[in-house]
């Protein structure tokens, strides 16, 4: 490969999710956003690297946000941008970036599409407080916007609203090469193939190979999943996995 070929190769685009909310940590609310965002990002060529869950404490939010945004291409936050006193995500993001925060006329205009002027009370106007310099993320469900500042995208915790915001912001994201995957059912228990599978993985360092045990009507079994951005390397590794599985099945008389 020439230098020019290397420079034209798509860069790896990575992401982290920061889930904010005491209700998630207490178990009162079951998170439904992490899996959705992870699959969404994978499908558009962004690799999710980290997920953190933090309480409604500004110092915790700021610390986690600054750590994640310095390491990943993008950070997506969910939760804490509603109308109540414990919705402190916007203030925390402003603190992390060292900027001021105030009612944003653009956000107020969005809220006005849903609420008459006499219903835009102090609580609802909290949802229009946006850090200085941020771009708004449209919300087709309830109108209260999310926002983007730097490489951080701040979204609602309500799944339907988060999903609408993600659809709105996705076209603005840079993406990398999508991860391809292939799966084969081993017909063996995970412990039967662990050693041999490790040897296959060692021989194919540029691909990701994982084993995932499950129970079927026939008893314990394992799916082997191979992932790579390179279709040729994916095919070569999967061929090696299938050869290994056939050998292990023969050895064990399966």
For 55-67, the pLDDT digits (tens) are 999 999 999 999 9
Question: What confidence category does residue 254 fall into, taking pLDDT thresholds of 50, 70 and 90?
Answer: confident
Model confidence at 21: pLDDT above 70 = yes
Question: What confidence category does residue 11 fall into, taking pLDDT thresholds of 50, 70 and 90?
Answer: confident
DSSP state of 99: -
Asked if residues 18 and 68 have their Cβ atoms less than 8 Å apart, the reply is: yes
DSSP state of 145: -
Model confidence at 51: pLDDT above 90 = yes
Asked if residues 172 and 219 have their Cβ atoms less than 8 Å apart, the reply is: no
In terms of Cα–Cα distance, which of 133, 23, 39 is closest to 78? Answer: 23
Distance from C-alpha of 229 to C-alpha of 248, rounded to nearest angstrom: 28
In terms of Cα–Cα distance, which of 43, 72, 50 is closest to 181? Answer: 43
Q: Report yes or no on whether pTM surpasses 0.75.
A: yes
In terms of Cα–Cα distance, which of 217, 218, 207, 212 is closest to 254? Answer: 218
Measured in degrees and rounded to the nearest 5, phi and psi for residue 114 equal -110, -40
CA max distance for the chain: 77
Strand, coil or helix: 188: coil
Task: Note the pLDDT of residue 2.
Answer: 33
Contacts of 195 (CB under 8 A, 6+ apart): none
In degrees, to the nearest 5, what angle opens at C-alpha 147 toward C-alphas 178 and 64? 75
Model confidence at 218: pLDDT above 90 = no
What is the per-residue pLDDT across 147-171, written as a single tens digit (0 to 9) for each?
A: 999 999 999 999 999 999 999 999 9
Question: For residue 84, what are its two tokens?
Answer: 């109540």
Strand, coil or helix: 64: helix
In terms of Cα–Cα distance, which of 36, 41, 37 is closest to 176? Answer: 41
Task: Note the pLDDT of residue 142.
Answer: 94
- Give the bridge partners for 182, in sequence order: 226
Task: Note the pLDDT of residue 178.
Answer: 87
User: Across residues 101-120, what is the average pLDDT?
Assistant: 96
Task: Note the pLDDT of residue 1.
Answer: 32
Task: Note the pLDDT of residue 177.
Answer: 86
Task: Note the pLDDT of residue 7.
Answer: 40
Question: What confidence category does residue 10 fall into, taking pLDDT thresholds of 50, 70 and 90?
Answer: low
């Amino acid at each position: 490969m020439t230098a020019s070929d290397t420079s034209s190769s798509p860069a790896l685009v990575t992401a982290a999710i920061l889930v904010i909310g005491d209700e998630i940590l207490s178990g009162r609310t079951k998170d439904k956003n992490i899996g959705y965002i992870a699959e969404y990002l994978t499908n558009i060529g962004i690799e999710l690297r980290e997920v953190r869950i933090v309480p409604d404490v500004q110092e915790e939010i700021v610390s986690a946000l600054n750590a994640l945004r310095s390491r990943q291409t993008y950070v997506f936050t969910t939760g804490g941008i509603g109308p109540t006193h414990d919705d402190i995500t916007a203030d925390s993001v402003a603190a992390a970036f060292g900027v001021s925060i105030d009612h944003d006329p653009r956000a107020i205009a969005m809220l006005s599409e849903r609420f008459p002027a006499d219903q835009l009370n102090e609580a609802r106007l909290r949802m229009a407080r946006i850090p200085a310099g941020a771009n708004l993320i449209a919300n087709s469900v309830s109108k209260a916007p999310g926002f983007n500042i730097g490489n951080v995208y701040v979204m609602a915790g309500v799944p339907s609203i988060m999903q609408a915001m993600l659809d709105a912001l996705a076209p603005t994201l840079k993406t990398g090469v999508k991860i391809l995957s292939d799966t084969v059912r081993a017909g063996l228990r995970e412990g039967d193939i662990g050693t041999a599978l490790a040897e296959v993985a060692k021989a194919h360092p540029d691909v990701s190979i994982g084993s995932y045990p499950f129970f079927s009507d026939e008893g314990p079994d394992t799916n082997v999943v191979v992932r790579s951005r390179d279709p040729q390397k994916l095919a070569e590794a999967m061929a090696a996995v299938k050869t290994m599985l056939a050998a292990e099945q023969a050895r064990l008389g399966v």
